[in-house]
Amino acid sequence: MSILTDLHLVSPHVQSEPESVAVDGAPPKTVFEVEDIHRLLPHRYPFSLVDRIVDFIPEKLAVGIKNVTFNEPHFQGHFPGRPIMPGVLIVEAMAQVGGIVLTQMADVQNGLFMFAGIDKVRFRRPVVPGDQLIMTVELLWVKKRRFGKMHGRAEVDGQLAAEGELMFSLVD
């Protein structure tokens, strides 16, 4: 098994309460700002790939935003004259959104969440500078609070950019 990246469990709950925002009379949505995300995940520049969580349902799903900008380091070489966000970074961004779900689960041991596998990943459209990547990651199942699977979906302007299944395992 190759390890592609990790999701770190810093604490079982956000240390400051995330903001709840009501929109058009709908029930309030939980919003995590970048400072909240950095308290929960170990990723930092240039590998912090989630700018905001705009919706969160505990132990179920999270919806995150990644604002894609031309000044990100991977665009220097991927590809000169035609910048396209690498697919592996889209998958990593979805995993980081999933990491928010994982770090907020009750009764989860401290440790390091790592990729255990990636299945059924498909890329449907390129993601380029100026795009806003909207990622919805839903928890499918968890076994013994140590292994699990999520389904991730990334969209730009309502068009599917990528989707797939992400497996994780908790490493002591």
Give yes or no: 8 in active site: no
Alpha carbons within 13 A on the beta-carbon side of 151: 5
Residue 47: name the closest of 101, 86, 103 by CA.
Answer: 86
Rounded CA gap, 9 and 13, in Å? 10
Sign of CA dihedral 93, 62, 18, 112: negative
Q: Which of 13, 38, 74, 78 is catalytic?
A: 78
Active site residues: 78
